[in-house]
A and B are shown apart, each in its own frame.
Chain A
Amino acid sequence: MQRRSITAPVILIFVLAALLIASAWFTDHYILMSFAVLAAGLLFMLVRFESRKMEVGELVIIAVIAAIASVGRIPFAGIPGAQPTTFVIIVSGVVFGAETGFMVGGVAALASNMVLGQGPWTPWQMAVWGLIGIISGLLRNRRFMQNKWGRILFGAVCGYFFGAIMNIWGLYAAGGPAGTLSTKMVLSYFGASLLFDSFHAISNALFLLVFGDIFIKILTRFKGKYGLLQ
């Protein structure tokens, strides 16, 4: 792995600090501030991806995996929660590492929304699926991620994680900054989404239980055979 320049992380830290200070000033605009934070984080990862040395084959493989993740999402669009997208992202994070996991998650969200329809939720989905990819990539060498049941548990947790992040955007859209976001409201909003998040968690666990091992085996074999995305 080549050494990375530290310019981008330093700029990211400065931007986030500036946003933090600005948010103390403009207390009225939760949703605008949250979009700015999302944009900073996503751009940081994308610039990192641009500056990385990469084979064409690696690029195409990320696209294939992201396409499989998106295709899985489209027939399930009507059923909230149940979709194999999160599962594919977790598996690619586990096999190929954090950065590839992020790219699969982010691109799958953006591309599938180009088919299903973009909305204010697109950057949030990009961020949360990207994060799931990053986290599964970072944890891949831990003992519980080497274990099938550990991965299944992780998948279930990811279902709730996804729901929690998406709830934040819903809350910012619904309740404003002017004192409307009470603890009671936050709790009932999360309570209302609990059922759908449980569907998502269960479907993740099921996919990891049934498809998990074979997917990881195929991807690992492929990675070794062609020496890509090491």
Chain B
Amino acid sequence: MPKAGRVVVVFGLASISALLSGGRAHAVTTTTTTSTASAASIGGMLTVDNHPVPGVRVTASRGAAEVGHAVSDRRGAWRIGVPGPGTYKVALDVSTLPSGVRAERPELAEYRVFGSFAQSAGFTLSAGQSKAPGGQSRLDVFLNLFVSGIRFGLIVGLCAVGLSLIYGTTGLVNFAHGELVTFGALIAWLVNTMSSGPKLPLVLAAIIGMIATGLLGATLELGLWRPMVRRRSGASGRMLVSIGLALFLRYIYEVIFKGAPRSFRQYAAPSPVKLGPLQSPVRDYVIMAICLATLLVVGTMLRRTRLGTAIRAVSDERDLSSASGINVEGVTLLVWISGGMLAALGGVMLGMGSQGVQWNMGFRLLLTIFAAVVLGGLGNPYGAMAGGLVVGVASQVGTYWLPSDLQFAIALVILILVLLARPQGILGVRERIG
């Protein structure tokens, strides 16, 4: 493969190669020649909800003759060396799939290999239970999706409140907010699960993650954003800096924590409890309760306390608040700390779910958080909570009709539709828009 071509593919597939971190992952059994960078090969990752699916046999054949097969390794990776360009049939051996996992299309009848390089072939696997007919009526499926949508929406809401408050008080569209979410979850994972870590209980670990992320927020405000504001940098310049910061932090996480998703030591795979038509583990209800309680506390504090009033005042009119004796820089610092803590809590709650804790989990959530914030009106914390719920429920319930690989797109389509119809958001104030 030409050098120039490799470059593009390498960063294009960065997320995949991240999962393959450690060249060891290439040790996949093949019957034909071992795949090297220059030989033609077909490969891919088998995952369900971002969890690897090992031990699945994949075969490639041309005409009636099998040209090679591979078994997915513990990262779910497989690769088959093939003789060269041409059309192949690539098929999953369905009988080797773990129980409860099914392939939406187990066979790619006409897979074309174009040259002598490593190509990827995707198989979409789904966990049988999400849409499983296992005794559930269509209404039950719908209700379960609705409940998991509320859980997801509350988590998005937690992250969105912080982003919205930061926007309100500083005018910064913070593209690095996802990295605060990830940071909280990673720190919590570190002290909860890592083999050489202190292995604290998850509740303590979550609190430590929140404090650490609050400190990160404070460090960023004191070391980066405040000096920039003092140098009279525009909001647009700071937005671009936040993109650079996001890239920087995200890939540092990847270097340190490697690619694979991880679970917390506790509550990793609880069994679902039947509650009427609902089938969710108790853990999910606890997550919802914690998120809801936190949002209520934040909402009340913004309304009732002096600090909350100060935050809202700075949000509304920064210069006037400063003139009337509010310590604007102090309020901004507190907003960064609390925004970071809320994001971290959201990250831990997200990491308890099926997708686990991963270096890019916050980045994957970022646009959904944006959708929530815009839906509620940029800078409006109550709007962000409501927006989170709407986006969360819509993207989960939407998979009732649409394939689950489009779930993420649903939130973004909502975002664009809202901007078309009501750019100030559900609760936004008309005059805030330019």
* A interacts with B: no
Which residues of A come within 8 Å of B, CB atoms? none
